Amino acid sequence: MTSLFREYVDQLINFNKKFLIIGNDNARTYKEFFKLLKENKIWCGYTRVKEFGQPDGTFKKFGNVGWYTNLDVKKRHEELILYKTYKGNEKDYPKYDNYDAIEVSKLKDIPLDYKGVMGVPITFIERYNPKQFEIIGLIAGNIRGLAGIPSKIGKDGPYLNGKLKYGRILVKKITTK
């Protein structure tokens, strides 16, 4: 069975509909869907979807499903509290082999004083505040043309010490004056 998720989202956007839908976390790496996230036309809702009630009364559990919406939600405007620093801890933030960006393995480790591009886990989208961060692009092994910055060695995806890591969203802090 084939999912019609992409086509459904495309239809909602094309007809300028307000919506709250459930989708797989991997949708964040779909080329068309990621573009909508980057352009702030869609974002994450409040919670994760842990289980579904089925017509026969049983429940099915999930671990990678969430809400997506274009309705304004308070959570979208909450700032991510940053407390780690880059300066003095550069060894904790290696640079990618192929992109001019640093690796940030966990959201809690995003440095408050780094002004360049950072690769963060795709779960970042759940905490994304467009007034605090700019989404530059997406780097993943199977994705081409969404990085937003050029690869230095012609390979897509986030490489560290010659090894391909799981996909990352490239972001940059917005500095306010």
- Pairing label, strands 65-69, 20-24: antiparallel
What is the spatial distance between Cα 160 and Cα 162, in angstroms, rounded to a whole number? 5
- Residue 29's pLDDT is what? 85
**Angle, alpha carbons 20-23-25 (nearest 5°):** 125
Whether the CB-CB separation of 120 and 110 falls below 8 Å is answered with yes
**For residues 146 and 88, which has the higher predicted lDDT (pLDDT)?**
88
pLDDT of 26 > 90? The answer is no
pLDDT of 1 > 70? The answer is no
Q: In which band, very low, low, confident or very high, does the pLDDT at 101 lie, cut at 50, 70 and 90? A: very high
Q: Mean of the per-residue pLDDT values for the chain?
A: 90
pTM: 0.88
- The 3-state DSSP class for residue 6 equals helix
- Residue 2's pLDDT is what? 61
Average pLDDT for 32-56: 90
